[in-house]
Amino acid sequence: MYKLLTRFSLTQKFMILGLTAFVLVSALTYLLVSTADEGIDFVRHEIKGSESLVPVMSLLQTVQQHRGLSSLVLSGKNEVVPLWNAKRKEVDQAVEAIDAVNKRFPELNLSNNWHAVKGQWQKLKADVAGLSPQESFHRHTALTESITRFVSLIADNSNITYDPTVESYTIGQIASVNMPMSTEFMGHMRAFGAVLLGQKNASESERARIDIYAGMAQQELEKLNLTLDKIYAVNPELKSVFKASHQEMESKVKEALKLVNEQIVSSKKLDYPSQQYAATLSSAIDAQFAFIRVVDEQLYISLNAQANRLATKKYTILIIVVLLFALCVAVAMAVMRGILIQVRSITKALESIAQGDLGARADMPHTPNEFVQIARSFDSMAAALQARQSEAARAEARFANIVNLASDAIISVDEDQRILIFNYGAELIFGYTTAEMLGQPLDRLLPERYTEAHRGHLRQFGAERQTTRHMNRRPDIFGRRKDGSEFFAEANISQAMENGKQVFTVILRDISARKQAEEEIRQLNVNLERRVLERTTELQAANQELEAFSYSVSHDLRAPLRAIDGFSQALLEDYADKLDDQARDYLNRVRTATQRMGHLIDDMLTLSRVTRAEMRRETVDLSALAADVIAELQKSEPLRRVDWHIESGLVAEGDAPLLRVVLVNLLGNAWKFTGKTANAQIEFGALNNAEGAPGFFVRDNGAGYDMAYADKLFGAFQRLHLASDFPGTGIGLATVQHIVHRHGGRLWAEGAVGKGATFYFTL
Amino acid sequence: MNNQTVLLVEDNPDDEALTLRAFKKNNIFNELTVARDGQEALDYFFGEGASERPAPAVVLLDLKLPKIDGLEVLRRIRADPRTRLQPIVILTSSREEQDIITGYSLGANSYIRKPVDFSQFMEAIRQLGLYWLVLNVPPVSK
């Protein structure tokens, strides 16, 4: 059911709902209307009955009158024969009227009974002339009884006796039961009283009989009053309708009853003229029938009013139902229209958004309902969408800027290698315009000899599902410009899925210039290597020469010196007696000079060896080395007293023999320059410096030096002291500096004349 | 003190004279034979009449020599089974590490650097004579 209904449009749903309501309302209306129609038919039936009653009452009246006239005629009063005949015609007229009514209302089903009554009358009419007065009276009375029963039948068949409303039921009772009976009592009294007055004598039983008639008539009057009071209680207006005829009828009946009582029941002598008596009672009966006619008329009116009320009620119900249904339809249509308008408003906004107008909003009333909630949700969705799209647009603009401003070529291709993006950088590099290249195959940008291989690479890359790759892993990528020239390129390729399709993006740059620069650098390097090799060879040659020179120096310069010294000594020893003091002094000077030159040569050899020697770095215990050097110094002059402070655990990375030379020189210098200082102190320790490299110092409190000449301290053969004061060659510190430099360190000094000196070095 | 000869291989006449003087001054009276180049030194051992000549108590070998240098002389002496045990002291001006190492590698018994100071030279010769000519027991005795 639910699923079935969701298939229909809103209009169709409302139509289904309307149809269902229509059927329901129709059924209810039919029930209501048919109930009302039943009531109306019921009342119409009664109306027919009330119409039928009128001629029957005429019949009853005329038959009663015919009964009285027949009595008179049959008693010999021939003067009333014309009246009697006339009355007989009236009865026939009444019979005809009832025939007509019976024809009109066959549904009252009266014809059988009516034919019996009618037959009874026709038989009586045929027989009446030959009957005795008593027989005539009985036959007439039997007829009036039949008529009275017929009246009851009419009342029954036409529902009057079953009418549920008090008014019409009671009126019906009066018209069909009470009054006919009253007239019958009055008729009996008229006929019987007239006979008694005619014979001017009455037995007790005859008096009692007429008194019973009078009592019953009296009773009927009282019953009528009670009944009328009931009617008036229901409908007071009827009082005015009935009042005149009722009062007239009542007074005439009372007058007749009074007459009966005074002149027959209570009178000893029955001398009241019978004709007058009959006239008085006839007048009362006429009044009764007049009242009956009024009542009949009112019954007809009441029933019609009732029928009209029922009809009005029925049509009112119909009108109300129709109006309500129309209202329902109108409300439903308004609701539907409202829904459709709101749906259309939302749909319109959705369509606008679908067409790209993200500013579109559903135009909705401010009162909250479900659609307004939907519209608000939709509006906030649209706003979010708009914000996101503008962000996307900004991102796209940024992307476009990056792509356009990039000096690299950025080229995207689809799975068929058709170009999708060809940026400005690509235009500059390849010489094609973007318009020329969009949709073109990528092959146009490659040298023809590479196109097939490149397709293979791209397919392989696509199959790998690797997201990015540097194409320059392969050597020598080439691009082809519009003019057909080729260039070295470096490229990265990446792939992404766009709407389920692979898109490859290549970022490519022309690296011809770089390649050229690389080639130039390579050439330069080759040249440089060749020149380095040449220089190295030259240097090696120079080194060998230097070595040969040093060798010569150590041998060939020392030998003459030794000869000079040796022979000077020989002269001093062997020819002492032939030499005077001056000659001996000279020879001693010669010897001193030669020995000094020997030292010079040794130191120079050390310096040259320091320069040439191969370095082997190892961990050197400087503290132990210093102690060794000091021990040697002490041994050379065992009598000297020097206060040594050697920091323990000093360690350095370096060439042990060379570091020994350093300490020999620095400690040797300190030893030498404190030679004339009392309380000589020499300190060797670690330097706290910020350079990171390990640092050391050698401090003494000896002769010191003038800082003004500090720049000459480390030059070869530079001396700041006289050899006579402090012997030396001026090569020691130059050698130390050489060694320190070869270790990548630094050597510097502080000092003042007479205040000692401190030498610092790092390694 | 034995009377064996000492072979001095020395090309420099000054050094030869000074060595002789140092011997004399130190009262070393062993015969001092002088070879003035490497070839002469080798001839002493392997040349004509070499078998007639006595093995020196010690050879004082300079390194820088004309014709055949001292180290080559040393190598050849050590290479010959007849002379491979001959005591040889290198007496030279060179202080080159390379010379010292090569000298010892080739089987020199000692390496003495000639000081420039004649007094020190004298002392060196004195100790040398005392050691090689007095204290040391030579490997062969003829």
DSSP conformation letters of A251-288: HHHHHHHHHHIIIIIS-SS--S-HHHHHHHHHHHHHHH
**Residue in A556, A565, A605 closest to B116 by CB:** A565
Concatenated DSSP letters for A719-742? -SS-TTTS---S-HHHHHHHHHHH
pLDDT grade for A689, boundaries at 50, 70 and 90: low
Amino acid B74: pLDDT: 94
B26 touches chain A (CB under 8 A): no
If DSSP codes are grouped into helix, strand and coil, which group holds residue A398? helix
pLDDT grade for A477, boundaries at 50, 70 and 90: confident
Q: What is the percent of chain B with per-residue pLDDT over 90, rounded to a whole number?
A: 30
pLDDT grade for B95, boundaries at 50, 70 and 90: confident
Mutation for testing the A interface, residue in B101, B102, B118 having most A CBs under 10 Å = B118
Q: What value does the mean pLDDT take over residues B110-135?
A: 88
B98 touches chain A (CB under 8 A): no
**A518 in Cβ contact with A527 (< 8 Å):** no
Encoded tokens for A306: 């009732």
Rounded (10°) CA dihedral A111, A94, A56, A214 = -140
**Location of structure tokens 């030396």:** A728
pLDDT grade for B142, boundaries at 50, 70 and 90: very low
Per CB-CB distance under 8 Å, the chain A contacts of B97 are 609
**Partner-chain contact A569 B118, CB within 8 Å:** yes
Amino acid A691: pLDDT: 61
**Partner-chain contact B116 A561, CB within 8 Å:** yes
Encoded tokens for A461: 């890359």
Amino acid B141: pLDDT: 47
Encoded tokens for A515: 């390649």
Q: What value does the mean pLDDT take over residues A59-88?
A: 86
Residues A122-135: tens digit of each pLDDT: 999 899 888 888 88
Q: State if pTM tops 0.80.
A: no
Bigger pLDDT: B42 vs A198: B42
Helix ranges (H only) for A412-511 are 424-430, 434-437, 448-464
Mutation for testing the A interface, residue in B93, B97, B120 having most A CBs under 10 Å = B93
Rounded (10°) CA dihedral A268, A271, A273, A276 = -30
pLDDT grade for A693, boundaries at 50, 70 and 90: confident
Q: Give the helix/strand (H/E) hosting A687.
A: strand A681-687
**Partner-chain contact B118 A597, CB within 8 Å:** no
Amino acid A343: pLDDT: 81
**A596 in Cβ contact with A633 (< 8 Å):** no
Per CB-CB distance under 8 Å, the chain B contacts of A567 are 14, 17-18
**Location of structure tokens 């024809």:** A103
**Partner-chain contact A566 B121, CB within 8 Å:** yes
Residue A719 has pLDDT above 70, yes or no: no
- The Cα–Cα gap between A507 and A450 comes to 18
Residue A542 has pLDDT above 90, yes or no: no
Residue A638 has pLDDT above 90, yes or no: no
Q: Looking at chain A, which residue has its C-alpha nearest residue B92? A: A555
Q: What value does the mean pLDDT take over residues A710-738?
A: 73
Amino acid A121: pLDDT: 93
**Residue in A562, A567, A609 closest to B116 by CB:** A562
Q: Give the helix/strand (H/E) hosting B77.
A: helix B70-79
Q: Looking at chain B, which residue has its C-alpha nearest residue A550? A: B96
SS3 content of chain B, % helix, strand, coil (to 5): 45, 15, 40
Interface residues of A toward B, Cβ cutoff 8 Å, are 550-551, 554-556, 558-563, 565-570, 573, 591, 594-595, 597-598, 602, 605, 609
Q: Which of A599, A597, A575 is CA-nearest to residue A587? A: A575
CA distances, A535 to each of A480, A532, B136 (Å): 45, 5, 53
**Residue in A551, A559, A568 closest to B12 by CB:** A559
Q: What is the percent of chain A with per-residue pLDDT over 90, rounded to a whole number?
A: 10
**B8 in Cβ contact with B60 (< 8 Å):** yes
**Partner-chain contact A563 B64, CB within 8 Å:** no
Amino acid A305: pLDDT: 87
Lowest-confidence region among A566-575, A670-679, A701-710: A701-710
**Residue in B17, B63, B116 closest to A558 by CB:** B116
Q: What value does the mean pLDDT take over residues A306-310?
A: 86
Residues in chain A: 763
Residue B63 has pLDDT above 50, yes or no: yes
Residues with Cβ within 8 Å of residue A456, at least 6 apart in sequence: none
Mutation for testing the B interface, residue in A551, A552, A553, A562 having most B CBs under 10 Å = A562
A708 DSSP assignment: G
Cα-flanking dihedrals φ and ψ of residue B20, to 5°? Answer: -60, -40
Which residue type occupies A84?
Answer: W
Residue A68 has pLDDT above 90, yes or no: no
**Location of structure tokens 């540097």:** A470
Encoded tokens for A359: 């500013």
Lowest-confidence region among A304-318, A345-359, B54-68: A345-359
User: Which neighbouring-strand residues pair with A477?
Assistant: A489
What crossing angle do the helices spanning A166-173 and A204-234 adopt, rounded to 10°? 160
Q: What value does the mean pLDDT take over residues A293-299?
A: 88
CA distance B133 to chain A (A): 23
Q: What value does the mean pLDDT take over residues A720-733?
A: 70
Residues with Cβ within 8 Å of residue A351, at least 6 apart in sequence: none
Residue B1 has pLDDT above 60, yes or no: no
**A36 in Cβ contact with A313 (< 8 Å):** yes
- Residue ranges of B 116-135 with Cβ closer than 8 A to chain A: 116-119, 121
Per CB-CB distance under 8 Å, the chain A contacts of B12 are 559, 563
Helix ranges (H only) for A441-552 are 448-464, 512-552
Bigger pLDDT: A609 vs A149: A149
Lowest-confidence region among A161-165, A175-179, A183-187, A735-739: A161-165
**Residue in B17, B96, B118 closest to A565 by CB:** B118
How many beta carbons lie within 10 A of that of residue A647, not counting itself?
14
**Partner-chain contact A560 B121, CB within 8 Å:** no
A693 DSSP assignment: S
Is residue A604 packed enough to be buried (19+ CB in 10 Å), middle (13-18) or exposed (0-12)? buried
B64 touches chain A (CB under 8 A): yes
pLDDT grade for A465, boundaries at 50, 70 and 90: low
**For all residues of chain A together, what is the average pLDDT?**
85
Q: How far is CA A671 from the centre of its chain?
A: 97
B14 touches chain A (CB under 8 A): yes
Q: What value does the mean pLDDT take over residues A96-112?
A: 88
Which residue type occupies A276?
Answer: Q
